[in-house]
């Protein structure tokens, strides 16, 4: 099991100085020199990295990329103090909130997803029942008899 470590760099100008744009469940890295989008990495739902160093407030980072087996980890470090950005909670609109609210949002989203699937299932049953009724009407109209398949 080989571990590869390298520094992220801009594919356009080669700079290793990157800026962070946080959003829900992901982090976008942009070149601090030319502004090109370098990479998008995934985070847990409603989390991301802050765009500034937690220790000094600087907004330019170098990013260490570690490749272990099938996983790739991007770890940003401040170019001034080698500190890291804070892990933040962020919603779909880009609003920050605390970790307690994150748990509530995760539960609410799970409930909304469950409700949507339930409505879809109910609709499927309704559609199925409509089709069965249509087939029964056709059978009655044509005087077909249903087979007993339980025997």
Q: Are residues 63 and 8 in the same domain?
A: yes
Q: Are residues 15 and 74 in the same domain?
A: yes
Q: Which residue has the higher pLDDT, 22 or 149?
A: 22
Q: Are residues 89 and 103 in the same domain?
A: no
65 has a pLDDT exceeding 60: yes
Cα distances (Å, whole numbers) of residue 150 to 129, 136, 146, 147? 20, 18, 12, 9
Q: How far apart are CA 92 and CA 109, in angstroms?
A: 12
Torsion sign over Cα 97, 102, 104, 107? positive
Locate 117 and state its tokens: 């699937």
Note whether 63 and 8 are within 8 A (CB).
yes
Q: What is the pLDDT of residue 77?
A: 96
Q: Are residues 106 and 86 in the same domain?
A: no
pLDDT digits (tens, 9 = 90+) for 131-142: 989 988 888 888
Q: Are residues 113 and 126 in the same domain?
A: yes
Q: What is the pLDDT of residue 105?
A: 81
Q: Are residues 89 and 102 in the same domain?
A: no
102 has a pLDDT exceeding 80: no
Q: Which residue has the higher pLDDT, 87 or 102?
A: 87
Q: Are residues 59 and 127 in the same domain?
A: no
Q: Are residues 126 and 78 in the same domain?
A: no
Q: What is the pLDDT of residue 151?
A: 59
Residue 26 maps to a domain = yes
Q: Which residues contact 96 (CB under 8 A, 6 or more apart)?
A: 88, 89, 90
Residue 53 maps to a domain = yes
Residue 12 maps to a domain = yes
Q: Are residues 120 and 56 in the same domain?
A: no
Mean pLDDT for 118-136 is 91
1 has a pLDDT exceeding 70: no
Domain count, the chain: 2
Mean pLDDT for 84-101 is 85
* Geometric angle at alpha carbon 63, from 57 and 69, rounded to 5°: 140
* β-bridge partners, 85: 53
pTM above 0.85, yes or no: no
- Domain of residue 125 covers 98-143
Residue 151 maps to a domain = no
Q: Are residues 43 and 93 in the same domain?
A: yes
Q: Among 17, 5, 21, 6, which residue's Cα sits nearest to residue 94?
A: 21
74 has a pLDDT exceeding 90: yes
Q: Are residues 56 and 122 in the same domain?
A: no
9 has a pLDDT exceeding 90: yes
Mean pLDDT for 92-115 is 84
């Amino acid at each position: 099991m080989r571990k590869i470590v390298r520094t992220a760099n801009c594919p356009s100008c080669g700079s290793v100085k990157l800026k962070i744009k946080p959003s829900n469940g992901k982090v976008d890295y942009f070149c601090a020199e030319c502004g090109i989008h370098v990479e998008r990495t995934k985070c847990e739902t409603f989390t991301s990295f802050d765009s500034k160093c937690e220790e000094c407030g600087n907004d330019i980072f170098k990013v260490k990329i570690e490749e272990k087996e099938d996983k790739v980890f991007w770890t940003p470090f401040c170019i001034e103090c080698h500190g890291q950005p804070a892990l933040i909670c962020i919603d779909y609109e880009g609003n920050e909130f605390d970790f307690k609210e994150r748990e509530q949002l995760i539960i609410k989203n799970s409930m909304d997803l469950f409700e949507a699937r339930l409505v879809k299932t109910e609709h499927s049953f309704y559609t199925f029942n409509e089709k069965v009724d249509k087939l029964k009407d056709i059978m009655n109209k044509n005087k077909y008899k249903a087979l007993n398949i339980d025997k």
